Structure 1
Amino acid sequence: MIDQFIKQLGTGLEQAATTLGKLPADEIQAQVQMVAKDTLTKMDLVTREEFEVQAAMLQKYREKLVQLEARLAELEQSDSAQ
């Protein structure tokens, strides 16, 4: 993923370099930031907040699965005892 980011960033910078010419440093920095942001947007990444929400949901479902497995084992044991 990092290699893809670097490749896309390099391509964007090459394209931007042809239009930058002799722009002031702050404009060049803004162009570089724009290219980096566009590249990251195309990579379909999630925010930290989205990741943490999904991680919390996964933990909840794991706990529920453990409970259901224990309940199933309990039911199977009581069924085989009869």
Structure 2
Amino acid sequence: MGVLIFAPFVHFGQSISPPSWGWLLGIGIIHTGIAWVIIYSAYPQLSTPVIGMLSFIYPIVAAVIDWAIYDHPLGLSRDGGSGC
């Protein structure tokens, strides 16, 4: 679904260096794969209300950490979605 949603914002004319592909694979495998395995393996021990609450808190915490640690301003993109 993400590929379909973000495809209009991709600049297909630009080449991507092999180290960049390595970082992309690392983020996909390490963060997405391992983090979600850890998160979903904890679900059987949690009650339904706690799971529901965490599903709303997790993205908020991610945005706040992005703002606080990486100094990324919160808000809509002003560059028209160019990605940079």
Q: TM-score per shorter chain, which class?
A: 0.3 to 0.5
TM-score (norm 2): 0.32
Structure showing greater relative contact order (alpha-carbon pairs closer than 8 Å, 6 or more residues apart): 2
Higher helix share: 1
| Greater Rg by CA | 1
TM-score (norm 1): 0.33
